[in-house]
Structure 1
């Protein structure tokens, strides 16, 4: 008789925080545009169904046709426009997932644009198309939706991981990513270091590196054990913008989203974004979008749907 040895293996609790945000079909006419913006801790997928669509990812521009796919990495500026006369239609969605490994793979392996015949596109299309159908079920079954979302995540993860494995040893976490994470913390809970008077004018390279209102960047640099100059350079190389520009884009998007989707007073929104007073916030907001916060709230453009408010501190 075989005697079994006592054995007990305990695995950690697994509780992933995954969200499918703003999935939608859309048909757009010629000359339609979706201005450049970014998403923090979520990636975006867009499948062109008909026509031609021009997509921007960072400093790269690509014309997409029916069947082509674009994957937008977290924290990368992107936008879309239609310049062809026939217009275009597409299916678009955003997936929020705080998976450090996957986010790192997006940094190192994502090409952004995948033609209809690309292996990753071929792996993803069945799940994306099934997701399109499931979203139209009545009543909607969230578990069925999330099953397709998980398949999409796993297909992307597997493909990126295979690419990374062929390169050899895994790369270390990019410092630029850690800088962006620290900037997000500033956005979630403004502190006195971010309560600065912002001016409508754009900051020049010299001003951004001079320490003007940049105590927060110096603090981030100290935490990461790098100089503020090196911090600035690493971030610009990774994301095509300075840390200050990134912070201001997040502030602009957060302001637009809060004005459009909440009943908070403009004064409270100004404070949440780290402004010393509502007048300072109003001046900056007018420089961003060409109207006052109150005017924007009364006439919210349809394109605001692509923005998501940052989660608050726990």
Structure 2
């Protein structure tokens, strides 16, 4: 046998000797083999909108909600974030994590202005989303231990900004590695929070999570098919109940488990897919707004502009100018 093969660590070295006997005598077939495995991972991962910006008094971002989660670190000055009519004040070093589907408004009314880092991330894993959605803490104040952990991770992104050269594939992989570090840290914070509080959290059966993910995959397929054909992705044309029933469950149950996992309705989820695609295209400066409208299936730029303004409160041109 090739000696190089023997150099690999034995995955059962921590187990008892019986765990890796090759041919145990008088054992059933199920007992004759012992093995360990890692789970399959099939995620859609997105990291987008990462930027540092300096703004003055009176600045305000559009009222919006995302499919993904938003993380924001105040680098200098003060920021106010309004969520469901409640205003949170953030000062230098504070971090806020805004969950998926939550409408929020970031603004600055402080005389000294504001400098901040912000990024959005989306990992289409139901268990991860459930963990973050049930986390009650939004703000991690500067100086606390969780804040220190998160700042160490965010600083890795801050060190990656380039001003002269294009980002390479290596850069992209490194950014994604930092994203995974962040996700590990967040899930651990959620677990620590749950063990320190009584009463527990609502349990969702694996089958419910599975069906919610299936519905999300069907919605993305519907979106991608229409986007590829450059036909308008119409919410009115989508029969959500029929889509849910096509996977073998009742529409009522499907709507309930989808909202439990993703925090929004299937129609809102599809609307968010459209909005995020529109925003991603607008950020590509070489594309005209007319080209973007055509790619999204709108016959006229005016139709796209009206819809975008319904989503964000500003026109596509105003959004591009803000960027």
Bin the TM-score by the shorter chain.
0.5 to 0.7
Cα contact 1:179–1:235 (8 A) shared by 2: no
- Residue in structure 2 matched with residue 154 of structure 1 by the alignment: 184
- Residue in structure 1 matched with residue 10 of structure 2 by the alignment: none
Pick from 211, 224, 228 the counterpart of residue 188 of structure 1: 224
Once the 2 structures are TM-superposed, how far is the Cα of residue 88 of structure 1 from its aligned partner? Answer: 0.6
Pick from 86, 104, 127 the counterpart of residue 78 of structure 1: 104
Once the 2 structures are TM-superposed, how far is the Cα of residue 14 of structure 1 from its aligned partner? Answer: 5.6
Once the 2 structures are TM-superposed, how far is the Cα of residue 19 of structure 1 from its aligned partner? Answer: 5.0
Q: Over aligned residues, Cα RMSD in angstroms? A: 4.5
Once the 2 structures are TM-superposed, how far is the Cα of residue 260 of structure 1 from its aligned partner? Answer: 4.9
- Residue in structure 1 matched with residue 12 of structure 2 by the alignment: none
In structure 1, the residue corresponding to 2:159 is in which secondary structure? helix
Deviation string, structure 1 residues 201-248 (Cα, Å, up to 9, x no partner): xxxxxxxxxxx9465222245357445699499859x85x76545544
Once the 2 structures are TM-superposed, how far is the Cα of residue 183 of structure 1 from its aligned partner? Answer: 4.0
CA distance in 2, matches of 1:34, 1:181: 30
- Residue in structure 2 matched with residue 38 of structure 1 by the alignment: 65
Larger Cα-atom Rg: 2
In structure 2, the residue corresponding to 1:35 is in which secondary structure? coil
Once the 2 structures are TM-superposed, how far is the Cα of residue 177 of structure 1 from its aligned partner? Answer: 7.6
Cα contact 1:46–1:70 (8 A) shared by 2: yes
- Residue in structure 2 matched with residue 286 of structure 1 by the alignment: 306
* TM-score, L = length of structure 2: 0.64
- Residue in structure 2 matched with residue 93 of structure 1 by the alignment: 119
Distance 1:37 1:183, change over 3 A: farther
- Residue in structure 1 matched with residue 29 of structure 2 by the alignment: none
Pick from 132, 135, 150 the counterpart of residue 109 of structure 1: 135
Deviation string, structure 1 residues 52-103 (Cα, Å, up to 9, x no partner): 1112445643221112111122333333111222211111222343333211
- Which structure 1 residue ranges, 5 or more long, are not aligned? 199-211, 305-314
Distance 1:251 1:215, change over 3 A: closer
- Residue in structure 1 matched with residue 53 of structure 2 by the alignment: 26
The answer to which of 103-112 and 158-167 deviates more is 158-167
CA distance in 1, matches of 2:85, 2:277: 23
Once the 2 structures are TM-superposed, how far is the Cα of residue 30 of structure 1 from its aligned partner? Answer: 0.9
Distance 1:229 1:258, change over 3 A: same
Written as runs of structure 1 = structure 2, the 5 A alignment for 1:155-304 is 155-164=185-194, 167=200, 170-172=203-205, 182-190=218-226, 213=236, 215-223=238-246, 225-227=249-251, 231=255, 235=259, 239=263, 244=267, 247-261=270-284, 263=287, 266=290, 269-270=293-294, 273=296, 278-279=299-300, 282-283=302-303, 285-286=305-306, 288-289=308-309, 296=316, 301-303=320-322
CA distance in 1, matches of 2:253, 2:34: 51
Once the 2 structures are TM-superposed, how far is the Cα of residue 137 of structure 1 from its aligned partner? Answer: 11
Cα contact 2:66–2:272 (8 A) shared by 1: no
Distance 1:229 1:171, change over 3 A: closer
Distance 1:77 1:185, change over 3 A: farther
- Which structure 2 residue ranges, 5 or more long, are not aligned? 1-16, 23-32
* TM-score, L = length of structure 1: 0.66
Once the 2 structures are TM-superposed, how far is the Cα of residue 145 of structure 1 from its aligned partner? Answer: 4.5
CA distance in 2, matches of 1:15, 1:232: 24
